Amino acid sequence: MTLHPNDFLKSEAVAATGPAVARRRKMRPAAQTGEPVVPQSVRGRFRRLKWAMVALCLGVYYVVPFLRWSRGAGQPDQAILFDLAGLRFYIFGLEFQPQELYYLTALMIAATIALVLTNTLSGRIWCGYFCPQTVWSDLFQLVELRLEGDRNERMRQLHMPMTLARRARKLLKHVIWLAIAFGTGGAFVLYFADAPTLLGDVFTGQASVAAYGAILTLTTTTWLLAGFAREKMCTYMCPWPRLQGAVWDPEALVVTYRDYRGEERMSAKKAAAARAAGRPAGDCVDCMACVHVCPMGIDIRNGPSIACINCGLCVDACDTTMGKLGRQRGLIDYESWTNIERGRAGQSRKPVRLLRPKVVALSVALLAIVAGVALSVSARGTLHLGVSHDRNPIAVMLSDGSVRNAYEVRVETLAGVGGDLTLEVAGNAPLHVAVIGGETSDSGRVPISLGSGLSRQFRVTVAGETALEGDLVFTLIQTASGESVSVTNFFKLP
């Protein structure tokens, strides 16, 4: 049977061919019975890789707010800082302002393309190793394993009366979960203020209401999602599984069961007897190890499933069983669906092509967006100027017969840029410029004092004869470097 990509949109796992797979089984995975998913711990290369990714992701998340980056006197020295109060966003040597959010849009598009690219290469590999839901769920499950025992012990206690010792262990588990969740929320707010200062304020009760509110919200959501909604979040709440039909690739390396090798399922003793009698027997001994270790509670032997996060733990479990039986490993493995169908047809396996047209196209698109953002950031200036004309009134006739227009001018500089600036206004005729509360000039040039890395909004009036009607060019000049930026507005008559 050929698998169609749209089959991934089904709520049930896609069934593989063969009467042994299609028959109703006595032992079904938790995802089909409604029982709680209690995964068995497992050892193996993919489990070690997952722990390494957990350590890496958590290390980056908790350490980055404390990295320092020198930006000069009077500037924040936190390497990554999203200063909402000052409307500045610092990422190491780069500084962004709210009007530059188009960079964020470009990066979100790039991230989407990167996600589709990884899916084209190896399915939901992001979900299995890097997704925050997976990382924190693994951490919570580790606490559960250490306090309440492995799967067999917890399953045995499910329907037993609650004892004082079990209550104490469960209470301790939730205390540790809440501590981890609090650390998660606490680390998140450190990205929005100076980390060491805010950390001290949080524990001394001097932090803002907004900070405590954000910490409480993230603590609660982390505790609920990683502690109680693990596989439900990945299967039902996350939109990514529902998009598998659109981006599914038959040559992607995904966790797959080689049913042409595993069926018919039977015990090792029965398989030996069947082979001795010349009857077919598969390598799968139906030990259910692959099902018991699955954090999603599915049976990968039933075929591809939208719930599978491609974590590879069932590969470790099956390889362990095959090793104990002296059989070839890889009954469950990262394999392309193309090779699964070739195996069913008795054909040899083909090496998976990494450089496929779809992969090349996505890679080129991703590189183009990243390169475009990098070039745009490197070429942008350090000055920003915004000018808006007053609308009410749009113009005023003065007693000497001249006309005056008023403007709101916003000046911004990047961090470390000197604050001695000059505002120059040029039009079709001589004019008089006045900064309300500041300098005036009949030459069209007025000095502006601006602190380094600050922004200022002020009111400017321009007066002149009626011949001044038309375009006005406002130019902001950095005194030290000579860098300038210009904005065109208009001069109107009453």
Domain that holds residue 468: 383-491
Residue 19 in any domain: the answer is: no
Q: What integer pLDDT is reported at residue 419 of this predicted model?
A: 64
Q: For residue 62, is pLDDT > 70?
A: yes
Q: Give percent of the chain above pLDDT 70.
A: 91
Q: How many domains does the chain have?
A: 2
Maximum Cα interatomic distance, the chain, rounded to a whole number of Å = 116
Q: What integer pLDDT is reported at residue 190 of this predicted model?
A: 95
Which of 190, 205, 237 lies at the terminal end of a domain, its last residue?
237
Q: For residue 347, is pLDDT > 80?
A: yes
Q: What is the pLDDT of residues 211-238, one digit of tens each?
A: 999 999 999 999 999 999 999 998 889 9
Residue 80 in any domain: the answer is: yes
Strand order in the sheet with 88-91: 80-83, 88-91, 94-96
Residue 435 in any domain: the answer is: yes
Torsion sign over Cα 171, 174, 178, 179: positive
Mean pLDDT across 99-112: 91
Tokens 């089909």 correspond to: 32
Q: For residue 373, is pLDDT > 90?
A: yes
Under the banding of pLDDT at 50, 70 and 90, the label for residue 444 is confident
Under the banding of pLDDT at 50, 70 and 90, the label for residue 481 is confident
Q: For residue 141, is pLDDT > 70?
A: yes
Closest by CA position to 409, among listed 445, 444, 380, 436: 436
Under the banding of pLDDT at 50, 70 and 90, the label for residue 33 is low
Residue 90 in any domain: the answer is: yes
Residue 25 in any domain: the answer is: no
Residue 187 in any domain: the answer is: yes
Cβ-based neighbour number of residue 326 at 10 Å: 7
Q: What is the pLDDT of residues 306-340, one digit of tens each?
A: 899 999 999 999 999 999 999 999 999 999 999 99
Q: Average pLDDT, whole number, for the chain? A: 87
Q: What is the pLDDT of residues 155-182, one digit of tens each?
A: 888 888 889 999 999 999 999 999 999 9
Which of 177, 209, 237 lies at the terminal end of a domain, its last residue?
237
Any idea what the CATH number is for the domain that residue 469 is in? 2.60.40.10
The secondary structure of 180-244 as a DSSP string is HHHHHHHHHHGGGS-HHHHHHHHHHT-S-HHHHHHHHHHHHHHHHHHHT-HHHIIIII-SGGGGH
Residue 314 in any domain: the answer is: no
Q: pTM here?
A: 0.81
Q: What integer pLDDT is reported at residue 219 of this predicted model?
A: 97
Residue 226 in any domain: the answer is: yes
Which of 219, 237, 255 lies at the terminal end of a domain, its last residue?
237
| Amino acid (one-letter) located at 470 | G
